[in-house]
Amino acid sequence: MNYRVLILEDEQHAQETLASLMQKQTGFELAGIASTIEEAKQMVASLNPDLVFCDVMLPPHTSFEWLQQLDHIPFEIIFTTSFEEYAVKAFRLAAVDYLLKPISIEELELALEKFKDRKRSGQNAENLHQLLTNLNGDASQRRIALPTLTGFLFVAIKDIVRCESDNTYTTFFTLDKKKIIVSKTLKECERMLTDYKFYRVHNSHLVNLDYITEYLKGEGGLVKMVDGSHVDVSRRRKEEFLKHLK
């Protein structure tokens, strides 16, 4: 069985590049190419694609605007974008797949493998819903998708007290005293959470600045968190950290 693919992209060169790459992939059939959202709507209805590559920016609109109009999204999506900007951060929070242009064959093949995994597990619908909610909702209501053995656990960012590294794993500590272990490095978590008042006080610790109740002076110092935990501040991060507290 071949998966039917639709490309939504307004730039001809980008259309041709992605189409050429997809024609080299076994198990996939390029069903059509749309240059506008209106064309994409018609092609989705007539072609029933399994996977749609969605360019983010489709002036004067974005592909998000189209997706928000749908009651149900009956296809998987891989977003494509030229910009390492707010949308990319949103993809990471919701664990939704994306490709940065220019698209490399290696990154494309990784994304297609993830697509096959999602088709088998049926995970992606909730992730897409969370992406659209995060893009449009109140910042205080945004959630992060944390990978588990069975799928993803969606946790409100405002409920995360701190994160602690254990090599390639990170433990999330929440206000209700839960400990959630995920297969992400602390650096990956930092990249996703720095816009939400999180600060890396130590190689092994990322803390929510809103939940610090006390700072104790020392060589680097120590912070006490709202859940009663104590976290070391590294000496080299101390000065910059104290600026964030003011």
Q: What is the pLDDT of residues 20-71, one digit of tens each?
A: 999 999 999 999 999 999 999 999 999 999 999 999 999 999 999 999 999 8
Question: What are the beta bridge partners of residue 79?
Answer: 54, 98
**Residue boundaries of the structural domains of the chain:** 3-135, 158-245
Residues 207-243 pLDDT 10s = 999 999 999 998 889 999 999 999 999 999 999 999 9
> Does the pLDDT at position 122 exceed 70?
no
- Cβ atoms of 43 and 34 within 8 Å: the answer is yes
| pLDDT class of 180 with cuts at 50, 70, 90 | very high
Q: How far apart are CA 129 and CA 161, in angstroms?
A: 25
Tokens 């707010």 belong to 86
pLDDT at 223: 97
CA distance 79 to 15: 13
> 173-176: long-range contacts at Cβ-Cβ below 8 A with a sequence spacing of 24 or more?
173/227, 173/229, 175/211, 175/226, 175/227
- What pTM value is reported for the model? 0.84
DSSP letter, residue 36? S
Of the candidates 49, 113, 103, the residue with the CA atom closest to the CA atom of residue 79: 103
Q: Can you give the pLDDT at residue 89?
A: 85
- In this model, does residue 123 exceed pLDDT 70? no
Q: What share of the chain is helix, strand, coil (3-state, %, to 5)?
A: 40, 30, 30
pLDDT at position 71: 86
Per-residue confidence (pLDDT) for residue 138, from 0 to 100: 75
CATH 3.40.50.2300 fits 3-135, yes or no: yes
For position 136, what pLDDT does the model report? 82
* 202/222 Cα distance (integer angstroms): 10
Name the CA dihedral angle for 87, 176, 147, 191, rounded to a multiple of 10 degrees: 40
Cα 59 from Cα 232, distance rounded (Å): 48
Looking at residue 245, its pLDDT comes to: 85
The CA distances from residue 237 to 108, 203, 242, in Å, are 37, 9, 9
Two structure tokens written together for 111:
């994304």
pLDDT for 79-120, tens place per residue?
Answer: 999 987 768 888 999 999 999 999 999 999 999 999 998 887
Other residues' Cβ atoms within 10 Å of the Cβ of residue 172: 22
- The domain at 158-245 falls in which architecture? Beta Barrel (2.40)
Reported residue count of the chain is 246
Residues 6+ apart with CB under 8 A from 210: 197
Matching fold, domains 3-135 and 158-245: no
Q: How many CA atoms lie within 13 A of 54 on its CB side?
A: 28
